[in-house]
Chain A
Amino acid sequence: MTRDAYVLGRGMIDFGERYEDSFDDLLEEAYLALLDDVNVGSDEIDAAWYGTLDVADEGMSGAAVAHATGLFETPITQVVNACATGSDAVRNAVLAVESGQVDCALVIGAEKMRDTAEGLISLAAEKRVWRGRGVTMPAFFGMRATRHMEEYGTTREQIAEVSVKNHRHGSMYPHAHYKFECSVDDVLSSTTISEPLNLYDCCPVTDGAAAVLIGTEDLAREHAPELVRVAGTGLSSDSFVRGNDASLTHFPATRDASSRAYEASGYGPEDVDVAEVHDCFSITELVTYEDLGFCEVGDGGRFVAEGRADLDGEVAVNPSGGLLAKGHPIGATGVAQVAEIYEQLIGQAGDVQVDGVEVGLQHNIGVGRNATGSVSCVNVLERV
């Protein structure tokens, strides 16, 4: 027997260059922002799921959250699942509430990215002979761009439109790291990183944390301004070395994870009003439209260029500015996306509020082992 899980509240902090703040400061601020949003006492929190890759090497294990929040004598599980870390932490809390084991679960994610110079480029230095030697994140995703342009006639300008849209949204979103707008020409003339991708095709290096509270319907009725139910979740993995040609342009892991989430929720891509999806690079979002079923395979370039992902489009994609403008503190990213979808569904998204939203989707794709694998997590939320 299972029951449903609901979002009770969220705590978002400003993403950005947080040199003054320690890793613990970020966790504490997100936790306090959550308690400010939802009137739940710390003694009512039964368990916590904590997302971080611990890039800064300061936050290993649930004890880090206990230390930052005071939630000692509480079961806290660290979740690590590449860039799907935060969304998988949410998923685990949802499963726990659904199972009946936990009534009220904290999900908190944090990453201090700017304390280390290595950041995401370190993967390139991995001394693997055949797997991922010299392959950076921009290369892993950029290869999809090369092949997508070749196979579907997608243009470089269409890929840039993703970044243009997300920076426009980010300029209106209060917690975003970067709040400047840019043009297609700006993207095309920015520094080459991994041809065909340029600097403005890449998300920045950002510190941040975020929290959401997941709980029972009874608690949602007591504490939340609107009933927001987690309607379905999905998690999956894939690797391009399996020989599936779709893996050269797309992410079959996203297709499988979203199929699972759609099936569990009873919704399909045509029902989604707003989505926060993984745009670590512009091309990632473009192929994700296709993997999530927002448009036909091969149509992602036209989908963004025609404004169908805008705030007033068919599906408003990344109203928060996405990873490209808001930033990508890895462990916090998925948690923040769920917080943003919740804000949209309760009508508290301010300048980036999308009209008439009832169903929202959150998505991450991460790079797994030796830069060959990928892992994806999708969560579908609905306003009841």
Chain B
Amino acid sequence: MSGIRYSRDRRQHDRLVAFECQDCGWVSYPEQRRTCKRCGAAPAEFEEVQLAERGEVQTYVVQSRLPEEFETPQPVAVVDLPQVDGEGEPARVYGLLTETDGDDLEVGREVVARYRELFTAGDRPVHSFKFAPPRAESIGTDGDGAGDRGGEGER
């Protein structure tokens, strides 16, 4: 598969850069849009905002049946990532969980974005974030830091 689609939004993926609608406050992530998905402004005026790496689980499941390229159990969540400056609205995103089997997850729990190799496109690695429980509280992981270099587990 071509890697081109992953290079389009790479700056957003790498640095959690998002775009806030100046009409209604909706935050687009990762796509840089010209139309607003909430208020319908077209074209809307968007301003760049920086998302925080700590977000809140809105809901989640723990998946047991997945294609073999995924390790199971694989928790996946909807996470609200607030803006770094504490202003405005959060971005609502899907996130795969890492460093947890899901037993320590709950609605409202804080999770932290960790940079990982997600998968490869052709022979090129594609990096972005997965979420993990905060380190001091994480349960059932095999030690801090190991995952930070990426490539472990599900790609």
Across the interface, do A130 and B63 meet the contact criterion of CB distance under 8 Å? no
Across the interface, do A193 and B64 meet the contact criterion of CB distance under 8 Å? yes
Across the interface, do A193 and B65 meet the contact criterion of CB distance under 8 Å? yes
CB within 8 Å for A134 and B63 given contacts A240-B78, A243-B92 = yes
Across the interface, do A129 and B128 meet the contact criterion of CB distance under 8 Å? yes
Across the interface, do A194 and B61 meet the contact criterion of CB distance under 8 Å? yes
User: How many interface residues does A have (CB within 8 Å)?
Assistant: 40
Chain A residues packing against B (C-beta within 8 Å): 121-122, 124-125, 127, 129-136, 138-139, 142-147, 150-151, 191-197, 239-243, 245, 248-249, 371-372
Number of residue pairs A-B, CB distance < 8 angstroms: 109
Which of A127, A146, A147 interacts with B119 by CB under 8 Å? Answer: A127
Output the least CB separation between A273 and chain B (Å).
Answer: 34
- Distance A197 CA – B76 CA, assembled complex (angstroms): 14
Output the least CB separation between A338 and chain B (Å).
Answer: 31
13 contacts between A and B (CB under 8 A): A129-B9, A130-B93, A133-B118, A143-B59, A143-B60, A143-B61, A144-B59, A193-B64, A194-B62, A195-B102, A197-B61, A241-B92, A241-B93
Output the least CB separation between B63 and chain A (Å).
Answer: 5
Chain B residues packing against A (C-beta within 8 Å): 1, 6, 9, 13, 26-27, 29-30, 37-38, 58-67, 69-70, 73-74, 76-78, 89-90, 92-94, 96, 102, 106-107, 118-119, 121, 126, 128, 154
- Distance A196 CA – B102 CA, assembled complex (angstroms): 11
Across the interface, do A135 and B37 meet the contact criterion of CB distance under 8 Å? no
Which of A124, A132, A239, A249 interacts with B67 by CB under 8 Å? Answer: A124
CB within 8 Å for A195 and B62 given contacts A134-B76, A240-B92 = yes
CB within 8 Å for A242 and B61 given contacts A129-B9, A130-B94 = no
- Distance A223 CA – B103 CA, assembled complex (angstroms): 60
Across the interface, do B59 and A147 meet the contact criterion of CB distance under 8 Å? yes
Across the interface, do A192 and B118 meet the contact criterion of CB distance under 8 Å? no
- Distance A135 CA – B76 CA, assembled complex (angstroms): 7
Across the interface, do B66 and A127 meet the contact criterion of CB distance under 8 Å? no
Q: Which of A130, A147, A196, A197 counts the most chain B CB atoms within 10 A?
A: A130
- Distance A162 CA – B62 CA, assembled complex (angstroms): 21
Q: Besides the contacts A125-B69, A136-B65, A144-B59, what 14 more A-B pairs have beta carbons closer than 8 Å?
A: A124-B67, A127-B121, A129-B118, A130-B30, A134-B66, A134-B76, A143-B59, A143-B78, A146-B60, A193-B64, A194-B64, A194-B65, A195-B64, A249-B59
Across the interface, do A127 and B61 meet the contact criterion of CB distance under 8 Å? no
Which of A130, A136, A144, A147 interacts with B66 by CB under 8 Å? Answer: A136
B78 surroundings in chain A (CB, below 8 A)? 143, 240, 248
Output the least CB separation between B67 and chain A (Å).
Answer: 5
Across the interface, do A129 and B6 meet the contact criterion of CB distance under 8 Å? yes
Which of A130, A135, A192 interacts with B29 by CB under 8 Å? Answer: A130
Across the interface, do A134 and B107 meet the contact criterion of CB distance under 8 Å? no
Across the interface, do A124 and B38 meet the contact criterion of CB distance under 8 Å? no
- Distance A337 CA – B94 CA, assembled complex (angstroms): 32
- Distance A147 CA – B105 CA, assembled complex (angstroms): 12
Across the interface, do B59 and A138 meet the contact criterion of CB distance under 8 Å? no
Across the interface, do A139 and B63 meet the contact criterion of CB distance under 8 Å? yes
Output the least CB separation between B17 and chain A (Å).
Answer: 12
A138 surroundings in chain B (CB, below 8 A)? 61, 63, 65
- Distance A245 CA – B126 CA, assembled complex (angstroms): 31
CB within 8 Å for A147 and B67 given contacts A129-B6, A240-B78, A243-B89 = no
- Distance A122 CA – B70 CA, assembled complex (angstroms): 12
